[in-house]
Structure 1
């Protein structure tokens, strides 16, 4: 790829990452806020995952900006590795929290209330994140960035999580199933653990690791 074309693609990567970070901020705020109000564990967990992805996205944005500026990436790789550990451990801890909280809610028969805001957020995220995923993977391939391609994989996982949350809040709203929120939250554990383990693998330098942490 010609230098000029490569630089243009890196700038596109910066722009798409900025859009992604803005959406993560909105997603986290609405999911956590509406989840607390509605006592919805699945929404709060979804928002917590968005906060963690926001941290990883911020590190990746820094990495792209430095490449745009033509600086060495050696120091950024160290920061990405440290971020991998933080993100990976945080995600695995989140999975443990979801499991324990879900079991407690099932045992005590605690159900979530209807959250129209949560339904709207999950629908929007389920539409937006696949678009961001495709854009990140395409640009990552253009500039040879495994980190950006991995971030695209994380974005599609976020979409899967949104669809699970949507199913939970819709069934709660329509059928009043008190237990479905805890079950939906348990359904998120697979994706949270998968992201967390891939981030840890990235910190350990595994070649095929996801987690948006190495290039």
Structure 2
């Protein structure tokens, strides 16, 4: 399969955005885990764990884009399928951990020490991820690739998690109600379960697209 210069440009865009997503999530995850631990915020800490799960997913996506460029109908390799399966399992483990810690915090009345960094990290993530989503959607539409469009959907879920983090942090700052942070953690758990289920649908042999 050969591609014209315009198509090659959008494949480079899709691959570049996949690599950027990996690097960005590593940096974001380190900050979120550190400040989530320091501020005792289950939502921010869970968001940080999700960032590293997205790194695993991003590796599979980058591999997928290269595969599609070579031959869209070529079957997925072992690495790509393994990355999807590990990502799905990680999302389910994250959801279980978030539910346990969030419920425990509600029972004992735990409150986060602060949510300043939660707001900063979530605002940056919302802006950055939205730009990345638009880029992936444009590349997917121009290449008529459902696989790349599905990658944009994956990034959209990360965008939703950023919004949950921002809302829970702002509401906590306004109300001072400690359980708001735990509720945010439960919402992240629900989103993680949705992503986990999607990953397991993606890994089915008959599904050649990451969708």
Provide the TM-score with structure 1 as the length reference. Answer: 0.87
Contact 2:41–2:113, Cα closer than 8 Å, also in 1: yes
Change (3 A) 1:131 1:77: same
2:4 equivalent in structure 1:
3
Aligned residues: 210
Deviations 1:92-149 (A, max 9, x none): 1111111111111111111111131221010111122122112112212323433321
Q: Tell me the distance in 2 between the aligned counterparts of 1:87 and 1:124.
A: 24
Following the alignment from structure 2 to structure 1, what is the Cα–Cα distance between the partners of residues 14 and 97?
Answer: 33
| Alpha-carbon shift at residue 36 of structure 1 (Å) | 0.5
Q: CA RMSD in A?
A: 2.4
Corresponding residue number in structure 2 for 1:113: 113
TM-score by length of 2: 0.89
Contact 1:168 1:184 in 2 (8 A): yes
Once residues 79 and 143 of structure 2 are traced to their aligned partners in structure 1, the CA distance between those partners, rounded to angstroms, is 20
- Is the CA contact 2:151–2:210 (under 8 Å) kept in the aligned structure 1? no
Displacement of 1:178: 1.2
Instruction: Quote the Cα distance in structure 1 between the aligned partners of 2:192 and 2:206.
Output: 19
SS where residue 114 of structure 1 aligns?
coil
Structure-1 separation of matches of 2:68 and 2:125 = 29
- What are structure 2's unaligned runs of at least 5 residues? none
- Structure 2 match to 1:188: 188
Describe the SS at the equivalent of 1:177: coil
Runs of 5+ unmatched residues, structure 1: none
Q: Tell me the residue number matched to 2:173.
A: 173
Distance in 2, Cα, partners of 1:64 & 1:202? 15
Matched, 1:49 2:20: no
SS of residue in 1 equivalent to 2:77: helix
Describe the shift of the 1:87–1:187 C-alpha distance in structure 2 as closer, same or farther (beyond 3 A). Answer: same
For the pair 1:90 / 2:90, whether they are aligned, the reply is yes
Q: Contact 1:30–1:118 (CA<8 Å) still a contact in 2?
A: no
Q: Is the 8 A contact 2:39 2:113 kept in 1?
A: yes
2:24 is the alignment partner of 1:28: no
